[in-house]
Structure 1
Amino acid sequence: MFGVVVAVFFLLRMVPGDPAAMILGERATPASLAALRQQLGLDLPLWQQFIDFLARVVTQFDTGDSLVSGVSTRELVFQRAPVSLGIVALAVALAILIAVPLALTAARRVDGWADHLVRILPAAGMGMPLFWIGLLLIILFAVQLRWFPVGGVGSGPGEPIRSLFLPALAVALGLAPPLIRSLRAQLVEVFDADFVTTLRAARVSERRILFGHVLRNAAVPSLTLLSVNTAYLIGGTLVVEKVFGINGLGTLLFQSIGSRDFPVVQGVALYCAVLVVLVTTLAGLLSGLLDPRLRVAAPVPRNQGSPQ
């Protein structure tokens, strides 16, 4: 988190462009530019700007007021966050719904035609950028079939989910290929394990073996992979929002970058970093629930001559 705070502060100030000139326009006089820089605190030494920025982050969890609108960054982020979080949550659900059946189909028919097909399709999907997937989905499901809106978020009953489905599907199609490959490899390994053979010899039903033992053991590495790809998921969401014209954090981020609105860009990056940390922590907790061995502390070695 601290590394993100340092990076977003200093890297943004290395980008060419004067925020005061962006706000006032090309016809601004040097006196008005200097007055605005003083008002915004841009005339202070860089180290002092960083100390003020860090103090505000720690005490208020805010990166400052927008240089363009004057609104608090925290308020701007919280206004747009529900839409972006909705896309993230829906994309995770769709990625799981896509990955689990395909991985199961491939693992139960190793080296069959279904297995080869499932292994080829994700490899092709990984080479397609998210904005291209989003455009294809718009052309097929929104323009040709008219099942979903082309862009924006509706306000009627069920419209928000209907509007966010295609953006979430685009992100899920980009996230699912590595999950399919990881889960398939784990399922193949677990299906060949000795305890599965023992359960079958004890005439335990295949359904119970699959859902009670195989999937539970194979899900932990895939869950870890999903948490690692959280940054990719969030970054893909921000890009897809721009393609579908959704007024979320992605739109706010690109607008702020174009206007050199440092506080807002820093705020979006900081809150996204917080989300990555939370999701990674949650994935670790879920892994402990799925595999009790992860919750058991390693035994502390004792000296041979120590009293019992």
Structure 2
Amino acid sequence: MILGEYATLEAIESMRRKLGLDLPLGEQFVRFLRNIVVHGDTGSSIIYETSSRDLILDRAPVTLLLVGMACLLAILLALLLAILAATHKDGPLDHLIRILPAVTLGMPVFWVGLLLIMIFGVQLRWFPVGGAGEGGLDRIYSLTLPAITVAFSQIPSLVRSLRAQMLEVLESDFVVTLKAAGIPGRVILVKHVLRNSALPALMLLGVNTAYLIGGTLVVEQAFGLKGIGSLLFSAISNRDFPVIQGIALYCAFFVVVIGLLVEIASGYLDPRTKGEP
């Protein structure tokens, strides 16, 4: 692929030696691991002829900001909907909130993105239909619609989990005692009910991180964002294996980091999860 279709045998053999493909397989694997661990190097791009690490890190800010905004929106909207549903149990609002997530859960994320572009970008002209902006507030404004699209796929499961936990906590004995003591309902809801209900939803968000990243990469294509997603699809089209490999490894590392942060946060919410010293 590097040398082209009509490369000579001498050129191919020279390239094999340059890439270290003439070495034993075990030695090749050790060199591969050493380059990743020591230098964070996942090889050179076949198409761009530069480090795949540099290509990925150059596109990473857009993707990381999009993931962060999507997580924040998903958490805020899930909290709002779950609180409304739990505090209006079996009422019209509760039924509406329970039905909508069930319907939206089956919608493909790229289709949701195209729908939002048509409504809020083309018809209402509230948001740009593509691009990541020039930076600062303009970038955040440009990424708002893609972030809503990505968050859209995470909200249904978070709402169902958080609502179920909140209903269970609201019916517990200590909440009844707090109400009998005359503590305001808003204080009980925020300080006690939410804290005791958030752990399962937080763990679910951590588990869904891989799906969140995958949805982000697809949404980048729909909105024409120059992030890791567009780089990945370009690398797949051109069979640029080092770039594909690098993106997979960096995304896997990011998922592990998010899992660690979720464990730390769960220990703060419920000290019993820390285990015995």
Amino acid in structure 2 at the alignment position of 1:158:
L
Amino acid in structure 2 at the alignment position of 1:193:
S
Distance 1:118 1:40 in 2: 57
Is 1:93 aligned with 2:51?
no
Q: Secondary structure at the match of 2:90?
A: coil
**Aligned counterpart for 1:137 among listed residues 93, 96, 116:** 116
Q: Deviations along 1:75-131, whole A, 9 cap, x unmatched?
A: 111111100000000001110121111111111121111111111100111100110
Is 1:69 aligned with 2:40?
no
Q: Secondary structure at the match of 2:252?
A: helix
- The number of equivalent residue pairs is 276
**Aligned counterpart for 2:37 among listed residues 22, 39, 58:** 58
Distance 1:197 1:54 in 2: 57
Is 1:219 aligned with 2:165?
no
**What residue is the counterpart of 2:224 in the other structure?**
245
**What residue is the counterpart of 2:233 in the other structure?**
254
Contact 1:119/1:181 (CA < 8 Å) preserved in 2? yes
Amino acid in structure 2 at the alignment position of 1:34:
I
Amino acid in structure 2 at the alignment position of 1:100:
L
Amino acid in structure 1 at the alignment position of 2:142:
S
**Aligned counterpart for 2:258 among listed residues 273, 279, 283:** 279
Contact 1:103/1:184 (CA < 8 Å) preserved in 2? yes
Amino acid in structure 1 at the alignment position of 2:93:
A
What is the deviation of 1:68?
Answer: 1.7
Structural mapping, 1:1-308, within 5 Å: 19-20=1-2, 24=4, 28-31=6-9, 34=12, 37-38=15-16, 39-41=18-20, 46-155=25-134, 158-297=137-276
Name stretches of at least 5 consecutive residues in structure 2 with no aligned partner. Answer: none
Q: Deviations along 1:263-285, whole A, 9 cap, x unmatched?
A: 11111111111111111111111
Distance 2:122 2:81 in 1: 28
Please give the root-mean-square deviation of Cα atoms over the aligned residues, in Å.
1.9
Amino acid in structure 2 at the alignment position of 1:247:
K
Distance 2:11 2:235 in 1: 19
Q: Deviations along 1:230-251, whole A, 9 cap, x unmatched?
A: 0000111111001111010001
What is the deviation of 1:37?
Answer: 4.4
TM-score, length of structure 1 as denominator length: 0.84
